[in-house]
Amino acid sequence: MNMVLGAFAQVLSVKMLLIMILGSFVGIVFGAIPGLTYSMGIILLLPLTFHLPPLMAVTLLLGVYIGGMTGGSVSSILLGIPGTPSAAATCLDGFPLSKRGMAGKALGTALISSIFAGLLSVATLMVVAPIVAKFALKFGPAEIFSLVFFGFSTICGISMGNVLKGLISGFIGLLFTTIGIDPVMGMSRYTFGIGQLISGVDLLAFMIGMFAIPQVIKILSVDESLLTRKISAKVSTQYPSLQELKRMFGLMVKCAFIGIGIGAIPGTGGPIAAFLGYDQAKRKTKNNEPALEGVAGPESANNGVTGGALIPMLTLGIPGDPATAILLGALLIHGLKPGPMLFTQHADFIYGMYAALIVIHLIVLLMQGFGIQLFVKVLNFRKSYLYTTILVLCTIGAFAVNNNEFDIYVMVFAGFLGYFLLKFGFPVAPTVLALVLGPPMEENFRRALILSQGNFWIFLQSPISWFFYLATIFVLVGQVRRSLLAAKVRKGS
Amino acid sequence: MKKERYFSVLVLGLCAFWFLNSRSIPPATMPGAPGPKFFPYLVMGCLAVFALIQLALSFRSPKIPTSTPVSIPTLSPLEGKVEERDETEEGQEGGCVDPDDLVPDRRSLIAAFLLILLYVVGIDLVGFYPATIPAVFFGLLIAMKGKTPWHKLVLPTALITVAVYGVFTFALKVNLPAGKLW
Amino acid sequence: MKRIGLVLWVFLLSGLLFAEGGKEKAAAKQKYPEKPIEVTCLFGAGSAADLIARKFSDLASPILGVPLPVVNRTGGGQSVGYTYVKNAKPDGYNVVWTSNGLITAYYQGNIDFKQDAFRSIARISYEPVSFAVKYDAPWKDINEFVDYIKKNPGKVRIGNSGVGTFTHLAAAALEDFAQSQVVHVPFGRGLAFASLLGGQIEASSQLPSEVMAQFEAKQVRIIAVTSKERVKSIPEVPTLMEKKIPIELILWRGLAVPKGTPDDVVAVLEAAAKKVVESEEFKKFCDQMSIIPAFLPAAEMDKFVDADEKFTGALMKKIGASKR
């Protein structure tokens, strides 16, 4: 108990508070601006951390991580462009909601789901980290494959009723994931003679392009004067009511745990959890109308990932997702080695970190909470100015991921592709989902077979795999039933 | 319906293109595991099947009469079907007019495409800021569609550029493309 | 009148931006270094390569008087980063962290150029490859493990950090010595030991910094390292040579610039590198990360890399990992 109090005392010092505020602020900003991600924020602040004592260094970066994961929902909801890949699923219902004037409610729901799930994940981290870590280790390539395969099946859930079109979009996306060096053997595929394609198509650039560019084109090409209708401030900034929140509570808890689980499994991360969370939300509402649940689900899931990813990072030194990989590096630079030793030899650091995590969530809640009033004003800008600026921001974002000019071309290509997909009536989200899930699917599938040396039974060997395959069948059956029912209803009316 | 038909054909074309490019991929060298060609072939195969199904379906005449006489193709990024919007309700309550419900003007559309393309090429060739300034200017020009005189757009262009510079280059020290020509 | 004013204003602004750029170019002709030196790292943020790069930049920056931002140019089996620096102006403002990876990437066919496209600044460090097994594994030392491999051809699985990487090479060399087939399972980003702990592979071939935490926590045992001498941070681990296995492999890291960079620029960088490697802080950092500081000046480094290219190339051809 003393330890815990000591930790809080440590964390509530002026310096620490300033650091947490700085980190959270950078995180929220980077998360909220389309094109910039929290990983970038972490990398930018990394040099600052060299000269800070370990706890402050890690706290700063954690602030960015959590702020970023939470802030990603802002641009997803207001602009329909995911602020970070983990927020891609939040666009699906978030953006339509904001177009209908419910931006405030959507943002509020996203924020509360995020913080709630984040705190839940920290609690899990504190209490059962070693157990979760051990369980996560049971996920070998075959099991991860089954998980990702299941994730892919949720494509049906986000195709808005037209499974076939969703599958087509999704598989087009899969086709693009085959570009580049084959993940297992290192052989070049489909580079069409373009050197820069050797590392494949960058997910972030592609995603930014696909979501943002069609909108930019649209705004630039329609009559501006018809767009400038001011939003009644009162409606937009309404927060979600207590009743609405209570309704979504169970969903938030469920999705938080989905996030925690996925975060804990090395090799998977935010976007997968977010899409699964979205699928859960849609399952709950049982219709295809945009609803607050559709925001609560993905946002709980992606913030659940933050605590979850810290579990294998701290207990085993295995990063659960790319951002934690950098955090891990920061720890190593300060001479702190993850593993059971960290918990025994540096207990004060660990407890300090837990306390910091909790306080960071509260800071983010306050910052973003007050920020909502401000953010919503963005919707009042003249669309032409806004979207032109967005075009510029997206090119910066696409470039800044890898400092590679080629990625900007990728963004534009994805944008044009997205525009045509939409023009022809095909959904764009499955394509992005495919880019997220394609590589781990192929990688783990083949790695599993290498391990088993060609024996296909490896895929059915573990109860974990069985669970996910059965879940997939369940999902597909339900999906088909739903679309048949919908067709029947349409016929009847 | 026609557009689905065209698209399915395009998709089949994509599969064929991909297939032709597969020939240069070497076979597997690891024992037991499928080689680098396995996954692409699988994806191509499934995609082709789906496209064929879509093609077949597109010949079927729609049995369900649509309630609205005009279906405006929507550009909401995530919905894949044609939406029937009831404009009266939402417009009043504080939602904004959905840009997706408006039909684009052909010339501006082409201009928008060209602008984006040229902007990106420009960034590559002359660097970020030299390309961004004209891009923003012309972007605004296209968006305003002659309703605002061009000299009034100079100030917003400058402001946007300065703001971007201030935030990214000055404050965050983000690396921006330098341009290949110098 | 107002219009013209506004237009002039915009042109003035753009003019200023252009002037900025021009000023930088003019300044470059004066004393080196005058502006930040961009350091390209070929691996992602948080990786061993990235961490050493950042630590180095942190220590070298006050010596050189300019920042040395680390830019991660990943992908393409290291080709993206190498290609970028190779094509950069040889004015000393673009440096790349290189390693044996340059050679393995060439022989793998990821890049079409070799070390002669670059000029060495200095060698900075060594890292051996370590072979690790689960703590409760039945093999007490590397010889027992090799015997096991001999008795079970095609059944033993060794994880590495990717096809054609140095850790793969080390495992392949072991396989070659045992004359018995081993299944090489490629992982990325240090994930190999997750599978080791999960029991899906028998051993992993990784850089010590990637398994150090588990080693200290007694979850894995490191049964051998591939260096000539024992590693300071794990003094109880024998080398392969000690155990009569004639394999000696070491991962080296160094700094390089594009070919054609002038001598005086190279000299400045080389001197700074020497200071950093010999500093107490860097040594402490290396000890923590199981890295061996190993400074070698520019001229000798060029020869070293040439020799290593022949050696590594031959090794890769021998074990069938080369595509050339």
Average pLDDT over residues B90-109: 57
- Please indicate whether, in this complex, the C-beta atoms of A181 and C108 are within 8 angstroms of each other: no
> Choosing among A97, A154, A396, A442, which should be mutated to test the B contact, i.e. which has the most B CBs within 10 A?
A396
Out of A444-453, B52-61, B156-165, pick the least confident.
B52-61
In chain C, which residues have their Cβ closer than 8 Å to the Cβ of A186?
Answer: 77, 108, 110, 162-164, 186
Domain tally for chain A?
1
Q: Smallest Cβ distance to A190: which of B21, B77, B81?
A: B21
Using the Cβ of B52 and the Cβ atoms of chain A, whether some distance falls under 8 Å is answered with: no
CB contact under 8 A, A141 and C54: no
Tell whether A492 is covered by a domain.
no
Please state the ipTM of this predicted complex. Answer: 0.77
What tokens were used for A188? Answer: 């070049």
Mean per-residue pLDDT, B170-174: 69
From chain B, pick out residues whose CB is under 8 angstroms from the CB of C6.
Answer: 151, 154-155
Chain A residues whose CB is inside 8 A of the B113 CB are 217, 416
Using the predicted structure, report yes or no on whether residue A158 has a pLDDT greater than 70.
Answer: no
Residue C1, chain B, CB below 8 Å: the answer is: no
- Residue C307 has what pLDDT? 92
With an 8 Å Cβ cutoff, is B57 touching chain C?
A: no
Q: Give mean pLDDT, residues A33-44.
A: 82
Domain extent listing, chain C: 34-126+250-318, 130-225
pLDDT grade for B76, boundaries at 50, 70 and 90: very low
B48 touches chain A (CB under 8 A): no
Window 18-37 of B: residues touching C by CB (8 A cutoff) are 30-31
- Which amino acid, one-letter code, is at A441? M
- A141: three-class secondary structure by DSSP: helix
Return mean pLDDT, chain C: 83
Question: Who among C13, C18, C25 is closest to B158 (CB)?
Answer: C13
* Whole-number percent of chain B with pLDDT over 70: 65
Asked if residues C118 and C260 have their Cβ atoms less than 8 Å apart, the reply is: no
Q: Which pLDDT does position C51 carry in this prediction?
A: 86
CA angle at residue C97 from C92 to C101, to 5 degrees?
135
Six-digit token string for B131: 């390309």
- For the stretch C210-248, pLDDT in tens is 777 778 778 889 999 998 888 888 888 998 888 888 888
C169 and C316 Cβ atoms separated by less than 8 Å: yes
**Between the ranges A255-269, A424-438, B66-80, C115-129, where is the mean pLDDT highest?**
C115-129
pLDDT digits (tens, 9 = 90+) for B116-136: 999 988 888 888 888 888 888
Mean pLDDT of A407-416: 91
For residue A305, the model assigns a pLDDT of 92
What's residue C1's pLDDT? Answer: 46
Residue B155 near chain C (CB below 8 Å): yes
Question: Is there a contact between B133 and C10 if contact means CB atoms under 8 Å apart?
Answer: yes
Closest-CA distance, A152 to chain B, in angstroms, reads 13
The answer to whether residue A483 sits within a structural domain is yes
Q: What confidence category does residue A157 fall into, taking pLDDT thresholds of 50, 70 and 90?
A: low
Task: List, for residues C14-33, the tens digit of each pLDDT value.
Answer: 554 554 444 444 444 457 88
Window 121-150 of B: residues touching C by CB (8 A cutoff) are 127, 129-130, 133
Least confident of A178-187, C100-109, C112-121, C148-157: A178-187
Spatial distance between the Cα atoms of A428 and A417, rounded to a whole number of angstroms: 9
Q: Where are the domains of chain B?
A: 1-63, 66-103, 106-171
Interface touch B30/A184, C-beta < 8 Å: yes
- Residue among A165, A385, A403 whose CB faces B80 most closely: A165
Q: What is the mean pLDDT of residues B101-114?
A: 80
Q: What is the share, in percent, of chain A residues with pLDDT greater than 70?
A: 90
For tokens 């919707």, the residue is: A379
B67 touches chain C (CB under 8 A): no
Pairwise CB contact (< 8 Å): A447 & C162:
no
Overall average pLDDT of the C262-287 stretch:
92
Identity of the residue numbered A328: L
Q: Which residues contact A490 (CB under 8 A, 6 or more apart)?
A: B64
Fold of C34-126+250-318: D-Maltodextrin-Binding Protein; domain 2 (3.40.190)
Identify whether A191 is part of a domain.
yes
Q: Which of B30, B155, B182 faces C6 most closely, judged by CB atoms? A: B155
CB contacts of A326 in chain C (<8 Å) are 45-46
Distance from the Cα of C119 to chain B's closest Cα (Å) equals: 23
Q: Which of B70, B63, B80 is nearest to A491 (CA)?
A: B63
Q: Provide the shortest C-alpha distance from residue C313 to chain B (in Å).
A: 20
Q: Which of C137, C134, C211 is nearest to C167 (CA)?
A: C211
Query: Are C69 and B161 inside 8 Å of each other by CB?
Result: no
In a domain, A493, yes or no: no
CB distance A304 to A263 below 8 Å: yes
Is pLDDT of A84 > 90? no
**Rounded-to-integer distance, Cα C23 and Cα C305, Å:** 37
Residue C3's identity, in one-letter code, is R
The shortest C-alpha distance from B18 to chain A (Å) reads 8
Tell me what the mean pLDDT of segment A115-124 comes to.
Answer: 92
Average pLDDT (C158-175) is: 83
Which CATH code for domain C130-225? 3.40.190.10
Residues A216-238, mean pLDDT to the nearest whole number: 63
